[in-house]
Amino acid sequence: MKFGELKTAGHFPTLLAAFLYFDFSFMVWTMLGPLATEISQSLAAHGFHLDPNQKATLLAIPILSGAILRIVLGFLVDQIGPKKTALIAQGIVIASLFYGYLRGESITYNELLLVAFGLGFAGASFAVALPQAGQWYPPRLQGLVLGLAGAGNIGVVLDFLFAPKIAELWGWQAVFLVGGILSAFIFVLYTFMAKDAPAEVYKPNPKKLRDYLKLLRDRDTWWFSLFYAVSFGGFVGFANYMKVYLMNTYQVEMSAFGIEYLGEENVKVVAGYFGALCIFAGAVLRPVGGAVADKLGGVRSLYIFFGAIVVLAVINATLIHNFYLAIFILFLIMANLGMANGAVFQLVPQRFGKDMGIMTGIVGCAGGLGGTALIKTLGWSKSAFGGYAAGFLLFAAVVAIAIVGITLVKTRWRTTWGVSAGGRI
């Protein structure tokens, strides 16, 4: 399989446009995470002090709305085509970003929640970019095409690298301006580069609501939703809450790091850099997890990745009180979450090959709901106990439940659909 085939076997401008659309959308979707501290301080200066639960709610809203909207946009892709769907969604995202910028420091908490909901349309781009790119290419290139189109998880790393510095220099609202300008630029590029596949290349088969209901009655749909709620939910939840966690737990240590190595007390930027390091591991190792699952089988791989996450989460909750060790543990947690994402989607196409469009929306929604639950759990832990140990332990317990679930289904999977799936289960 050669990358050169992508230019001759399908429509490369559409593939590139889909990648750019998803990459920058994912960046916008998780934008509030690295800005949480700055926004909280801005609201406090105007007399509105966010408690840990309110801060968690603000961060959770785009993840929650993005999760639900993945199903909505996936349905629209079937009805009006991916390009129209993408342009409508991107228009709402751009409007939300510029509204946030124009309101600036005068914005209220309720207005921020509305903006956060609008950013959820960016997170739902997953259900648009992947089908649009995949429709142009033959089956032998689907893995490569969907891997490239779906590589947008790296967008969250860009947030943590640049958003805190932009906020420090020009204010947090400037990040919304930059995001709005970039999103408008991508909107124009996408308009001219992306095309829906013609009928001779891809014959649409619009799904009806009863098709979704049929899959929801299949117990394997719920098992895969649980596994992805743990893996992707853990990734996006920790990614969005990473800076808040680091600031609330290791502010003194990061302040010292900033003075020693950056020449100034720049704790928010330091938190962004270390957060980006941990998130980078999860973003880039997703394909590695898929490759490991191809070799060892998806079930065995999930045992390894989920088992490591349980141990690491418990260690972080009970034993780690040092900033550098915490970063190392978080790096490993995010790495295993990213690889688990790849392992889950090594299994899903083998079980639901004919219904991958619907399953992408359903399982993707479950992942977003898992991220929302994790963010709220961490906020509850901080509010109720003054720290995050309870949140990490509860997350470890949920992952352990997922491991039990794998044990319950593995024999049935391997002796039923796994027999003729064509890949290692």
Which residues are within 8 A (CB) of 177 and not within 5 positions of it... i.e. 6 or more apart?
97, 98, 101
Question: Is there a single domain that holds both residue 156 and residue 257?
Answer: no
Average pLDDT over residues 405-418: 91
The CATH number of whichever domain residue 368 belongs to comes to: 1.20.1250.20
Question: Is there a single domain that holds both residue 86 and residue 172?
Answer: yes
pLDDT confidence tier of residue 1, bands split at 50, 70 and 90: very low
User: What percent of the residues of the chain are helix, what percent strand, and what percent coil, each to the nearest 5?
Assistant: 85, 0, 15
Give the pLDDT confidence score for residue 225 in this predicted structure: 95
Give which of 106, 55, 126, 4 is closest to 379, Cα–Cα: 55
Over 50: is that where the pLDDT of 191 sits?
yes
pLDDT confidence tier of residue 154, bands split at 50, 70 and 90: confident
Q: How far apart are CA 255 and CA 110, in angstroms?
A: 32
Question: Is there a single domain that holds both residue 80 and residue 226?
Answer: no
Last residue of a domain, one of 196, 211, 229: 196
Query: What does the pLDDT look like over 280-332, one tens digit per residue?
Result: 888 888 878 888 888 888 899 999 999 999 999 999 999 888 888 999 999 99
Question: Is there a single domain that holds both residue 58 and residue 154?
Answer: yes
Give the pLDDT confidence score for residue 139 in this predicted structure: 59
Give which of 100, 113, 133, 170 is closest to 6, Cα–Cα: 133
Burial of residue 45 (CB within 10 Å: 0-12, 13-18, 19+) is exposed
pLDDT confidence tier of residue 128, bands split at 50, 70 and 90: confident
Maximum mean pLDDT: which of 50-59, 87-96, 119-128, 231-240: 87-96
**R_g over Cα of the chain:** 21
- Count of domains forming the chain: 2
Average pLDDT over residues 183-207: 83
pLDDT confidence tier of residue 200, bands split at 50, 70 and 90: low
Query: What does the pLDDT look like over 258-276, one tens digit per residue?
Result: 655 554 446 777 777 888 8
Pick from 127-136, 391-400, 410-419: least confident? 127-136
φ, ψ of residue 270 to 5 degrees: the values are -60, -45
- In terms of phi and psi (left: phi > 0; alpha: psi -120 to 50; beta: otherwise), the region of 207 is beta
Which residues are within 8 A (CB) of 9 and not within 5 positions of it... i.e. 6 or more apart?
137, 138, 141
Over pLDDT 70: what percentage of the chain? 88
In a domain, 215, yes or no: no
Calculate the average pLDDT of the chain. Answer: 85
pLDDT confidence tier of residue 4, bands split at 50, 70 and 90: low
**Between 8 and 299, whose confidence is greater?**
299
Question: Is there a single domain that holds both residue 294 and residue 353?
Answer: yes
Over 60: is that where the pLDDT of 278 sits?
yes
Query: What does the pLDDT look like over 162-187, one tens digit per residue?
Result: 888 888 888 889 999 999 999 999 99
Give the pLDDT confidence score for residue 256 in this predicted structure: 66
Query: What does the pLDDT look like over 47-74, one tens digit per residue?
Result: 888 888 888 889 889 989 998 998 888 8
**Between 195 and 358, whose confidence is greater?**
195
Give the pLDDT confidence score for residue 204 in this predicted structure: 66
Q: Give the domain range for residue 146.
A: 11-196
Question: Is there a single domain that holds both residue 234 and residue 157?
Answer: no
Give the pLDDT confidence score for residue 264 in this predicted structure: 45
Which residues are within 8 A (CB) of 421 and not within 5 positions of it... i.e. 6 or more apart?
350, 351
Last residue of a domain, one of 146, 161, 196: 196
Question: Is there a single domain that holds both residue 128 and residue 238?
Answer: no
Question: Is there a single domain that holds both residue 191 and residue 243?
Answer: no
Contact predicate 72/39, CB 8 Å: no
Give the pLDDT confidence score for residue 329 in this predicted structure: 96
Over 90: is that where the pLDDT of 420 sits?
no
In a domain, 202, yes or no: no
In a domain, 214, yes or no: no
Give the pLDDT confidence score for residue 394 in this predicted structure: 98
In a domain, 208, yes or no: no
What's the one-letter identity of residue 42? S
Maximum mean pLDDT: which of 94-108, 154-168, 256-270: 94-108
What's the Cα-to-Cα distance from 352 to each of 82, 113, 215, 224, 317, rounded to whole Å?
Answer: 21, 36, 9, 11, 37
Question: Is there a single domain that holds both residue 239 and residue 182?
Answer: no
Average pLDDT over residues 127-152: 70
Q: Which two tokens stand for residue 318?
A: 């009970």
In a domain, 207, yes or no: no
Q: How far apart are CA 347 and CA 422, in angstroms?
A: 11
Last residue of a domain, one of 145, 162, 196: 196
Which residues are within 8 A (CB) of 298 and not within 5 positions of it... i.e. 6 or more apart?
343, 344, 346, 347, 350, 423, 424, 425
Give the pLDDT confidence score for residue 202 in this predicted structure: 66
Over 60: is that where the pLDDT of 101 sits?
yes
Question: Is there a single domain that holds both residue 111 and residue 143?
Answer: yes
In a domain, 151, yes or no: yes
In a domain, 347, yes or no: yes
Question: Is there a single domain that holds both residue 180 and residue 298?
Answer: no
Question: Is there a single domain that holds both residue 190 and residue 298?
Answer: no
Exposure class string for 109-146: b at 16+ Cβ within 10 A, else e: eeebeebbbbbbbbbbbbbbbbbbbbbbbeeebeebbb
Single pTM value for the model: 0.84
In a domain, 425, yes or no: no
